[in-house]
Amino acid sequence: MAEDKLRELEKAKKERNDAFLKMRGVLQGLRTGDLSQDQEAYVQLLDFMVLGFKNQWTVIEDLYENLVLSAKLEGRQEARIDKLEEEVRTLKHTIDTLYDSK
């Protein structure tokens, strides 16, 4: 399950990165034309906003990835605890059996 979530996350990261690169390319293309000062300022603002959104998504993706990995690790720890509890029950049963037989 965690692996599926991580694959989905990687796919989403790639899609967002591709969209980011396309948008940056469009903005660079706009800059090559003859722009007025106001238009240039608008393009710079759009570029700043696109970069800001990319940074925010990167933070969100990193947090989500850490959450998925943490849940995966927690699941492994719970499995280990369950195994240890079973071993303790087995040992207790063995000790009780040995005690009762004497």
Query: Which two structure tokens, joined as six digits, stand for 61?
Result: 């993706």
In this predicted structure, what is the pLDDT of residue 15? 92
- Tell me what pLDDT residue 49 has: 92
Contact between 68 and 9 under an 8 Å Cβ cutoff? The reply is yes
Q: For the residues 14-29, what does the mean pLDDT come to?
A: 91
pLDDT tens column, 36-91: 889 989 999 999 999 998 899 899 999 988 988 888 888 888 888 889 999 999 99
* pLDDT value for 102: 65
pLDDT at position 22: 93
> Which structural domain range is residue 22 located in?
2-101
E strand segments, 1-102: none
Count of structural domains within the chain: 1
Is the Cβ–Cβ distance between 46 and 73 less than 8 Å?
no
Distance CA 31, CA 98 (A): 85
